[in-house]
Structure 1
């Protein structure tokens, strides 16, 4: 299923909406500003926080924790010294490992597990800068894959600024 992530550029606090391809709102992403950590909360349409991204403000490596119900479910790390392209690795709490690979400069990348693509993220289909699609190929992992897409997009956006 295809999801669309739309950023609100001129909001007082940064927020984005994740919608289905039929424009039904699924999750709101709230970024908490002016804190020692960068924190994103993923809130469903009933107002319940379903996941969070937490990154300490002063770290050398881009290491980010993904939490659900107050417990860590994933750790996202960026390979710092990579000759050809940026790569991210994800270690899940259940021991599985995912890779995020592709053309990250153009924000065209895949989330993979053992060579199998779980989701494809692309800005290519949109003429406006602050929207991108997430094609989820494994519906059971939808929330995690959407959170990972926002996480990587945020790190890449920070790096460009």
Structure 2
């Protein structure tokens, strides 16, 4: 199943929508402003918080915690810098591990575990909006894989912002 994550570029605060390929809205991703740590909330169309993404402060590598119902269900961190490929390490509750690897230049990433590819992230530019697709091959994990895609996008955007301020 294909899901789309569409950023609202002209919003007062950072906001994105997760939609099906048929443009049915599923979740709104809100960035909470005025916080010491970067926090995003996944909210369903009825206004219920489904998950939150919290960037850990004071870490050497970008590390993001994924929380549901106040419990940490996963952790994603960026591996050391590579010239042509980016790699992320994901540790889920229960000890399950995922790998996310791809090319930052093409903005194409694959999420996999020991059984194979679970999802593919493909970033594309559409007219006025910034959007990317998440093709999910593992339906039981679809929500977690979309959350991880948002984490990857946030880490890349964060790093690009840091590089621009260092110029």
Question: Scaled by the length of structure 2, what TM-score is found?
Answer: 0.90
Between the aligned partners of 1:128 and 1:68, the Cα distance in structure 2 is 32
Contact 1:36 1:56 in 2 (8 A): no
Cα drift, residue 10 of structure 1: 1.6
Cα drift, residue 81 of structure 1: 4.3
Map 1:1-161 → 2, pairs under 5 A: 1-82=1-82, 84-114=84-114, 116-124=116-124, 126=126, 130-161=130-161
Between the aligned partners of 1:124 and 1:27, the Cα distance in structure 2 is 20
Residues 129 and 59 (structure 1), Cα distance of their counterparts in 2 relative to 1, 3 Å cut: farther
Between the aligned partners of 2:40 and 2:73, the Cα distance in structure 1 is 15
For residues 26-49 of structure 1, what are the alpha-carbon distances to aligned partners after superposition, in whole Å with 9 as ceiling and x for unaligned? 110000122110000000111111
Contact 2:28 2:42 in 1 (8 A): yes
SS of match in other structure, 2:59:
coil
* Cα RMSD (Å): 1.6
Q: Which segment is superposed worse, 57-66 or 39-48?
A: 57-66
Contact 2:85 2:102 in 1 (8 A): yes
- The gaps in structure 2 that reach 5 residues or longer are 162-167
Cα drift, residue 106 of structure 1: 2.3
Cα drift, residue 59 of structure 1: 2.6
Contact 1:55 1:65 in 2 (8 A): yes
Question: Scaled by the length of structure 1, what TM-score is found?
Answer: 0.93
Cα drift, residue 107 of structure 1: 1.5
- The gaps in structure 1 that reach 5 residues or longer are none
Cα drift, residue 124 of structure 1: 4.2
Q: Which segment is superposed worse, 99-108 or 40-49?
A: 99-108
- The alignment covers a number of residue pairs equal to 161
